[in-house]
Structure 1
Amino acid sequence: MKELQGFIARVMSDYFKQFECLDFVFDNTEAIAQRAIELFIRHASLIRPLGEGGKMRLAADFAQMELAVGPFCRRVSDLGKSYRMLRSFRPLLFQASEHVANSPALGDVIPFSIIIQFLFTRAPAELKSPFQRAEWSHARFSQWLDDHPSEKDRLLLIRGALEAYVQSVRSREGKEFAPVYPIMVQLLQKAMSALQ
């Protein structure tokens, strides 16, 4: 985060502050700030496993991210949905999965696909994330998400990972699923019905 903050501050002071038309500059740099926040949240939702210490560090990074993108806009709150998503996601790090699933930010502020992806971090290793199931790197998965902005495509990929988990449990003749699994299925059903 310190590197990102330093880089953004340097770019603004060395390049963009030279222009007298700051309104034009901010109108164009806000999109960069929004993209940075969206990528940060995407990658934060993929961290696995995520222990208590990791949650604390990640929560600090959320706060630092707000400061990092500050030079790209008049006020960070001007970043709209990206800013609201950053502020809404941070408290979810510490909430129980049931509370995450009932967050009022779901669907409207934070896409269902991001939250379900985040819930994979609370699952046992046997319940593989979509990118793990496909044997993709984080970078390859991030590129896939960029190439597939449709929430429906993302949810279908998640559904495939959940179905593969069910098959793996049945193939070993398991009798129960991970506690987070029914919550993920419930969210997936809610998300899919919201797309109808």
Structure 2
Amino acid sequence: MGPEALSFLRSRHGVGDGSDLGRISNQQVFMSSLARQLVSGGTLGDPFKLYRLAKAAAANMRLSDTLDTQALLGIFQAVRTVGLSNMVFAQYPTGQDPDDVNRVVPNEYAAAQLNAALVADKPLTLSGTTGDGSESDPTGSATTPPSTPATGGATAPTTTTPPGGATSTVTLPPSVTGQTAAEKTCSRKLQ
């Protein structure tokens, strides 16, 4: 199963438009599905399963000096309280390079909005599509409303402000694609 999952995550030639951006969407499909499985399977509430998961991750990754099994357990515990709809997988916003149709360049306006929200540690809400390599689950079992189509990113981000004045959520421009872990999506076949 491991080699098949790795092949799926690295594939770009059979997904979306065949680009690296399609592969990113494909990886978001996988990560959101993995998050849903961890939550629904009770893994995040079972300390023995969490320890085995952290130990397997530590044995199969090259970790920094400060990231060890105990740190991974702490991350898993924090994820347990986040909620699937608050796990947002966003693709860095890009547009076609005017000098080379085979390349992309950052969408500076949308990138600034995404970066500012991340630096401010604000929860994100997506208003764009799931991206080139994925689509809402065609079986109709999506757990959140489908995203609205992208409109090029000219819309300013909005924020939700609860009583008391503290900003709680940043709604990103439609050119920032992605999905939440609560959204059930699937990979789109090569177009």
More helix, by proportion: 1
More strand, by proportion: 2
Same fold (TM over 0.5): no
After TM superposition, the score normalised by the length of structure 1 is 0.29
